[in-house]
Amino acid sequence: MSADTPEKKVLIYTDGACRGNPGPGGWGALLIYGDRRRELTGGETATTNNRMEMMAVIEALDALKDRCAVTLCTDSTYVMKGLTEWLPGWKRRGWKTAAGAPVKNQDLWQRLDSACQRHHMDWRWVKGHAGDPGNEAADALANRGLEGAR
Distances (CA, A) of 140 to 19, 28, 73, 120, 135: 14, 7, 15, 27, 9
According to DSSP, residue 80 is labeled H
How many other CB atoms sit within 10 Å of the CB of residue 52? 29
List, by residue number, the catalytic residues: 15-16, 53, 75, 129, 139
Strand order of the β-sheet with 68-74 is: 36-47, 23-33, 8-18, 68-74, 120-125
